[in-house]
Amino acid sequence: MFKFVWIFFVLNAFTLLRFLSKKCLPSYGKSNVSLEELFNSDDEVFDHFASVAEELISELKKSKYPQSAMSLIGLMGTINSLKLAAFDLAEETDTHLYAIKTMLRPAIEHFLRFSYLHMEIVKHKNDAAGLEYRKYCAISETIALIKSQFALEADRDIQTRVLKKLRQIDGFEISNRQLEQIVAKWSYKNIARKLDRQLNKDKEGLNFIRQLVSTYSELSSFVHGGINAEVYYHSAFASETLDKEVKREVSLFSFLAATARSHMLMLGCHLNPKFQTPYNEYSKKMVRLLGSMDDA
């Protein structure tokens, strides 16, 4: 039953990808559709979701997986916040392309985490994944903090400091092995592999996830000041294609944010059939949004 529900979710969510899968990601972005039209379509989709969001969140809080649902809502929110920042930069000037691409990397990472967590909720129908994810966040943030404070210490000493810090948190008992297992499980590479296996029979969804992971890796050059990013930006500037590149990237931001909201509504349908009508209407609006991104 649960497997069927997940497959149904995947087929519905990724059917929308057929509008974008004519060429490799991220190659969409109609040259004759303005950013203003894209932004207006994005607003329409967002406003529809917002009209049922309060009721949906209330339903999710009463479910068997409230912590998992709240993590999904949080990730959906961060993806949308990054999208809005990218929209503001794109609206100001196309020379903000470098900054837009830099922000795209965390948006992709958040989307992959969101997709994996959603998959685990639908598959197991309990709060285990969400509770573990919150534990992972505490661990990863503690590791980053300790590493920044004791950067010159040996890895073993840093891990000892991390465990000591974590054990100060009420109810947070964890061994070295458990720490390593949780960190490995929630790494983006492991998440990508699990999504890849789950989608192995859905060509469009699989193709999208694989290209998304590839894009995430390529964007590392922008985050870390690499030569490839510099060459790419100067090439776009010299060839006067900055506007086209900006449109392509903000289209992807919009798609990731809209898809996350679609997944949340699909989860709502699984909890209460009253969300089926809002979900159906949202899907229609999302198709129109994708039309403003599709290649000419």
Summarize pLDDT for 157-189 with one digit per residue, the tens.
888 888 888 888 876 778 888 888 888 888 888
- List, for the chain, all residue ranges whose pLDDT scores fall below the cut of 70: 1-33, 171, 201, 294-296
- pLDDT value at residue 177: 86
The pLDDT score that the predictor gives to residue 27 is 45
The pLDDT of residue 178 is 85
Q: Is 225 left (phi over 0), alpha (psi -120 to 50) or beta?
A: left
pTM: 0.86
Neighbours of 36 (CB within 10 A): 9
pLDDT computed for residue 176 by the predictor: 83
- DSSP state, residue 62: T
Q: How far apart, in whole angstroms, are the C-alpha atoms of residue 79 and residue 102?
A: 14
256 Cβ contact partners less than 8 Å away, ≥ 6 residues apart: 79, 83, 107, 108, 111
Q: What is the Cα–Cα distance from 276 to 214, expressed in whole angstroms? A: 34
pLDDT of residue 32: 60
Residue-level pLDDT at 22: 41
> Half-sphere exposure (CA, 13 Å, Cβ side) for 57?
13
pLDDT at residue 86, rounded to an integer: 98
